A = this chain, B = another copy of it.
Amino acid sequence: MYIKSDAKQLIFDKKNNNFTGLIEFFNLKTNDIITIKKIAELANVSPGTVDRIIHNRGQVAQENVDKVNAIIEEYGYKRNILASNLALNKKFHIAVFLPKYENLEYWKSQISGVEKAAAEFVKFGIVLDYFFYDFNTESFQKQINKVLEFDCDGLLFAPIFYEDSVRFLKEYEKKNIPVVMIDSNISEENKHAYVGQNAFQSGYLAGRLISFAVKNERKVLIFKIAREIESTSVYLQRIDGFYSYFKDNNDLTNFTFSEITVKDSGTNQLNLDMFKDIHSVFVPNSRAYIVARFLEENNIKGVRIIGFDLLKENVEYLNKDVIDFLINQRPEEQGYLGINYLYKKLVLKEAVENTHYIPLEIILKENYFPAGK
């Protein structure tokens, strides 16, 4: 692409949908946009016929089909989204299948991103239908059936419970409706869309940050604070990635690792022995604040903590210098982009990249800015 200055315009290539060259701007003033009506003229058929061809609605002679398609190809016809949707006058229903978010800050953010997108796209006919499930498999399974029954044009889905989700997805595929997953990805060979982080890599990064932060103090604790069932693969992939970092850097023997698992119910499950000689703690989910709180309450200092997600409590300890790093998953962006994907797919009928990895954002006290950033 070559560039000259002054009031010029990059040429927009209608066929390939991008910019290729540069022309004087007034050349574009001439409205050379090709419409159905013009195609009809060129092909000596009526607009109705062109319409039928475009929508594969049949009832048109092959001769005309070929003629019109040739013209469409040649002139690079793109249907006018505005007029199209105006005429369609149709609502696109998206089923949103997520954990019930009361008291779950992370999922609250996801929803708020979803709603932001919804508010932005109502004008294009996007309508959301929510299906929430509690954090247990019974609730999840119950909702699965409702989602399967529900008639819609797209699905946004957080596959928290692995096995059930895989089964559900297999069943849902029969519908042949676009599906986006957020938070964690269980799609085989990229069959469905995904918006979220690369969990393995986020653990890997955590490993790097730990090894960076501690110099000659090399006792690392991996602290797993889980709910009843935390079968999410995210969790395991992060730990996997974490170890992999040290393996790749031939540091597995220079560091000492230990793992502890407790149930998520306050700090009363923790005790001082757990942290004896420990120099740094890796919490592979969003509950780093529990460790932080315990260490603070017991006045233990100098332990590096690294965790995930900008929950209020996590941020509190980040600001107090108790937690050193948080890796942000940008839940709001995930929710937004999930809906945005379906909008592009359904309304704009555009081709969209299937996988969108959210950057691994490292947050320290110094680059944490609430809300507006």
Binding site for B on A (CB under 8 A): 3-10, 12, 17-19, 22, 25, 28-29, 78, 80-83, 85-86, 91, 93, 95, 100-102, 115, 118-119, 122-124, 127-133, 143, 146, 150, 201, 204-205, 207-209, 212-213, 215, 245, 353, 355-362, 364-367, 369, 372-373
Contact = CB atoms under 8 A, between A and B. Distances in A.
Contact of A9 (B17, B22, B130, B146): B130
Q: Is the interface of A mostly helix, strand, loop or mixed?
A: mixed
Nearest to A132: B5
Task: Point out which of A7, A357, A372 has the most chain B C-beta atoms below 10 A from its C-beta.
Answer: A7
14 contacts: A8-B129, A10-B130, A25-B127, A80-B86, A82-B83, A82-B85, A82-B123, A201-B367, A204-B366, A208-B366, A209-B364, A353-B372, A358-B373, A359-B361
A366 to B, nearest CB: 4
Nearest to A112: B19
The copy count of this chain in the complex is 2
Contact of A12 (B6, B101, B119, B355): B119
B205 A131 contact: no
B143 A5 contact: yes
B208 A365 contact: yes
Nearest to A18: B119
Contacts of A360: 366-367
Contacts of A124: 82
Given A119-B17, A373-B357, A3 B102 contact: yes
Contacts of A9: 127-130
Contact of A133 (B5, B8, B356): B5
A143 B212 CA distance: 48
A207 B78 CA distance: 51
Q: Ordered nearest first, which 5 A-B pairs have the shortest CB separation?
A: A360-B367, A5-B132, A208-B366, A205-B366, A82-B82
B115 A80 contact: no
A241 to B, nearest CB: 9
Contact of A364 (B133, B208, B356): B208
